[in-house]
Amino acid sequence: MTDFQVFRAELTCLAPGTEYAFRIGKSSGVYRFRTMPKKANDTISFVSGGDVGIQAAAVANNVMAARQNPHFAIVGGDLGYDNGRSVEISLAFIRNWSKTMIDSEGRLIPMVTCIGNHEVNGGYTSDRGKAPFYLALFDGLFPDKTFNMLDFGDYLSLVLLDSGHLTPIGGDQSCWLEKTLLARQDLPHTLCVNHVPAYPSHRNPLGVPAKDGKKAVNGTGIENRKHWVPLFDKYRVPLVLEHHDHTFKRTKPLLNGMQHENGVLYLGDGSWGKIRIPRPQDDLDVMVKTSSEYHITLHKLQGRERFHLAMNEKGKIMDVSHSGQRKQGIFRTQG
Ligand SMILES: [Fe+2]
Ligand SMILES: [Fe+2]
Using alpha carbons, select from 65, 36, 41, 34 the residue that is nearest to residue 188: 41
**% of the chain residues with pLDDT over 70:** 98
**54 C-alpha to ligand 1 centroid (Å):** 12
DSSP strand pairing (44-49 vs 72-76): parallel
- CA 264/CA 232 separation, integer angstroms: 7
CA–centroid distance, residue 119 to ligand 2 (Å): 9
* Per-residue pLDDT, 335: 39
CB 77 within 8 A of CB 245: no
pLDDT at 334: 43
Give distance in angstroms: CA of 318 to centre of ligand 1: 21
Tell how far the Cα of 78 is from the centroid of ligand 1, in angstroms: 5
Decide if 78 contacts 113 (C-beta within 8 A).
no
β-strands 217-218, 239-241 pairing: unpaired
What spacing in Å lies between the alpha carbon of 314 and ligand 2's midpoint? 24
The confidence score (pLDDT) of residue 330 equals 54
CA 29 from centroid of its chain's CA atoms = 30
| Class for the domain spanning 19-334 | alpha beta
Type of residue numbered 218: N
| Cα–Cα distance, 56 to 43 (Å, whole number) | 31
CA 264 and chain centroid, separation = 16
Rounded Cα gap, residues 167 and 189, in angstroms: 25
CB 16 within 8 A of CB 35: yes
Residues of the chain with confidence (pLDDT) below 70: 328-335
pLDDT digits (tens, 9 = 90+) for 66-91: 999 999 999 999 999 999 999 999 99
Tally of residues, the chain: 335
Task: Please name which ligand lies nearest the alpha carbon of 165.
Answer: 2
Report the separation in Å between the CA atom of 248 and the middle of ligand 2, taken as the mean of its atom positions. Answer: 14
Parse the chain into domains and list their residue ranges.
Answer: 19-334
Q: Give me ligand 1 centre to Cα 261, in Å.
A: 31
Give the Å distance between the CA of 210 and the centre of ligand 1: 26
- CA dist., res. 266 & res. 254, Å (int): 8
pLDDT at 333: 45
